[in-house]
Amino acid sequence: MKLTDEDVALLNSKVGLHALLRNKKVNLKSALKEARYLTQLRKKQEELIKLQNWVIENDQKVVILFEGRDAAGKGGAIRRLTEYINPRHFRIVALDIPSDDERKQWFFQRYINQLPKPGEIVFFDRSWYNRAVVEPVNKFCTEKEYNIFMSHVNDFEKMLIESDTHLIKFYFSINKKEQAKRFKEIKKNPLKRWKMTPVDEKAQDLWDDYSRYKEKMFEQTNTAHAPWVIVDANEKTQARLNAVSHVLKTILYH
Instruction: Read off the CATH number of the domain in which 210 is found.
Output: 3.40.50.300
Burial class (CB in 10 A: 0-12, 13-18, 19+), 156: middle
What interhelical angle do 74-82 and 28-57 show, nearest 10?
Answer: 60
Is 62 within the bounds of a domain?
yes
Is 2 within the bounds of a domain?
no
Q: Number of folded domains in the chain? A: 1
Is 17 within the bounds of a domain?
no
Do residues 156 and 107 touch, judged by C-beta distance below 8 A? no
Q: What is the pLDDT of residues 51-99, one digit of tens each?
A: 999 999 999 999 999 999 999 999 999 999 999 999 999 999 999 999 9
Q: What is the pLDDT of residues 161-195, one digit of tens each?
A: 999 999 999 999 999 999 999 999 999 999 999 99
Query: What are residue 124's phi and psi, to 5 degrees?
Result: -95, 115
Is 164 within the bounds of a domain?
yes
Sign of the C-alpha dihedral, residues 240, 47, 81, 190?
A: positive
Query: What's the pTM value of the predicted model, to 2 decimals?
Result: 0.92
Other CB atoms within 10 A of residue 74 CB: 26
> Residue 79 is part of which domain span?
43-250
Q: What is the pLDDT of residues 209-231, one digit of tens each?
A: 999 999 999 999 999 999 999 99
For the ranges 4-18, 24-38, 103-117, the lowest mean pLDDT is seen at: 4-18
Do residues 63 and 115 touch, judged by C-beta distance below 8 A? yes
What interhelical angle do 143-162 and 207-221 show, nearest 10?
Answer: 40
Name residues whose C-beta falls within 8 Å of residue 49's C-beta, 6 or more positions apart in sequence. 84, 85, 86
Do residues 206 and 237 touch, judged by C-beta distance below 8 A? no
Is 11 within the bounds of a domain?
no
Do residues 50 and 85 touch, judged by C-beta distance below 8 A? no
CA distance to 33, 37, 96, per residue, from 1 (Å): 13, 19, 49
Is 187 within the bounds of a domain?
yes
How far is residue 62's CA from residue 22's CA, in Å, rounded to a whole number? 37
How far is residue 19's CA from residue 32's CA, in Å, rounded to a whole number? 8
Is 88 within the bounds of a domain?
yes
Sign of the C-alpha dihedral, residues 7, 13, 14, 17?
A: positive
Element holding 66 (H helix, E strand):
strand 61-68
Is 16 within the bounds of a domain?
no
